[in-house]
Amino acid sequence: MYSLTVFTSRFDNKTDKRFDFETWDKFSRFLYKLSERPLGGKTDAELISPAVYNIGTTRANKNVLAWAGWCAVDVDDWTPEGDLNDTLINKFGLWDFICYSTASSLEELPKFRLVFRLDRNIHQDEIKHFWWALNTELDSIGDRQTKDLSRMYYVPANYSGAFNFIFSNSGVPIDVDELLARHRYDDKRDSGNFLDRLPDEWRKQIIEHRKSSLENTDYSWSSYHDCPFWPKSLASDYMTINKTGWYHKMYQIMIAVAGRAVEKGYPITAKEIEDLCRAFDNDTGRWYENRAIEKEANNALEYVYRNGVF
C-alpha cells in the first residue's frame, strides 16, 4: 500500500486529504500525471507527504503514525557525473525510484527529488533511524536532518522557467530492515522526547517501570465486541473502507487499544492486541491473514510505552 497526504500549501496543517494506491505502478502513474500540469511555481503547487496521521489531528510530528510505503529525498546541490539518468541508475539502480525535477531546477544545475519505493511502512519510532540510514547509503546527496517526521514535498509539475523532467528506474523496493541493520543510529542525537535523551540504561528503567506499574487486571473480555479498550469509532471507520487503507487504519486501532489499556493501568500484551485485531480482521475481509500482526502490535505497544500517548 502506498499512501500520500496532500497539503494545499506549506501553511496547511490539515491531514484529512489522503490518497491510497494499491500498487507502486498506480502511485507512479499519479506522479507522472501531476508532472504534466503547467504551474507557475511553488506558490501554485500542492505538497505531498508519505506520513500517515492519527485521525482528526494536524501536521505535527507527534501525530505521525508511519510513512506509507515510500520516501523522498531532495537533491539541490549535487552535480551528476555526465547524464543525470545514467548517473542515478549507476548509483542507485538496484532500487525502484522515480526522479522528478523541482521548480528551481536549471539545466546547468538540475534540482530534483528521488522518490523511493519501500518494502514496508516505516513506523513512527523508526523514521529518524531510517532517514539517517538512507542518506548514509546515498552518500549524503540529500539532507541528513531528521527532525521532521512530517516531511512534505512540492508535487511534480511542468513549472514555468524550470528545467523540467521525470523518469523512473525499475528495480526492487528498499529492504527497510536490511538498511536499518546496516547503518546504526544514535536516536538520542536530535530527539525531542525526554526519554530519548536519557542514557540507555535510565531510559530502559523508566520504560520498564511504566510496564511494571500496570497492575489493574480487573478487565476481561471474550472478543473485540466486549473489549473495554476496543476503539469502536476507528473500527467503524475501518469497515467503511472499500478500496485501500486497511493496513494504516488497523495500525491506528492497535495504538488506540494499547493506549486505552495503559491509561487504565491494564498490562495488555502484544498477543492480546493481535488476538483482538485478528478476530476483527476475520470478520471484515481478512486483509491481515498472512501478515505478522503480533510484530505490528508490539510496535504499537512500544510506541505507547515510549511516548506516553494514550
The predicted model gives 67-77 an average pLDDT of 89
pLDDT band at 76 (very low <50, low <70, confident <90, very high): confident
Q: What is the pLDDT of residue 206?
A: 62
Cβ 101 vs Cβ 88: under 8 Å: no
Lowest mean pLDDT among 22-26, 178-182, 239-243, 293-297: 239-243
b/e per residue 284-296 (b: at least 16 CB within 10 A): eeeebeeeebbeb
The pLDDT of residue 191 is above 60: no
pLDDT band at 243 (very low <50, low <70, confident <90, very high): low
Q: What is the pLDDT of residue 306?
A: 75
Query: What's the farthest any 2 CA atoms get from each other in the chain?
Result: 69
Query: CA-CA distance, 28 to 49, in Å (whole number)?
Result: 15
Q: What is the pLDDT of residue 132?
A: 87
pLDDT band at 145 (very low <50, low <70, confident <90, very high): low
Sole residue written with cell 501553511? 11
The pLDDT of residue 186 is above 70: no
pLDDT band at 209 (very low <50, low <70, confident <90, very high): low
Average pLDDT over the chain reads: 85
The predicted model gives 21-39 an average pLDDT of 93
The predicted model gives 201-214 an average pLDDT of 69
The pLDDT of residue 98 is above 80: yes
Query: Which cell goes with 274?
Result: 493481535
The closest of 139, 52, 48, 134 to 97, measured between CA atoms, is: 134
b/e per residue 84-111 (b: at least 16 CB within 10 A): beeebbeebeebbbbbbbbbebeeeebb
The predicted model gives 242-255 an average pLDDT of 80
The predicted model gives 211-235 an average pLDDT of 90
> What CA dihedral angle connects 136, 140, 145 and 151, to 10 degrees?
-100
* Percentage, residues of the chain above pLDDT 70: 88
b/e per residue 4-31 (b: at least 16 CB within 10 A): bbbbeeeeeeebeebebbeebeebbebb
126 DSSP assignment:
G
Looking at per-residue confidence, does 231 or 77 come out higher? 231
Looking at per-residue confidence, does 195 or 33 come out higher? 33
Write the CB contacts of 130 (distance below 8 Å, at least 6 apart in sequence).
Answer: 67, 71, 122, 176, 179, 180
Q: What is the pLDDT of residue 227?
A: 96
Q: What is the pLDDT of residue 47?
A: 94
* Percentage, residues of the chain above pLDDT 90: 41
> What CA dihedral angle connects 71, 183, 270 and 4, to 10 degrees?
0
Query: CA-CA distance, 100 to 42, in Å (whole number)?
Result: 14
Distances (CA, A) of 219 to 180, 235, 252, 264, 298: 38, 20, 22, 9, 20
Cβ 187 vs Cβ 180: under 8 Å: no
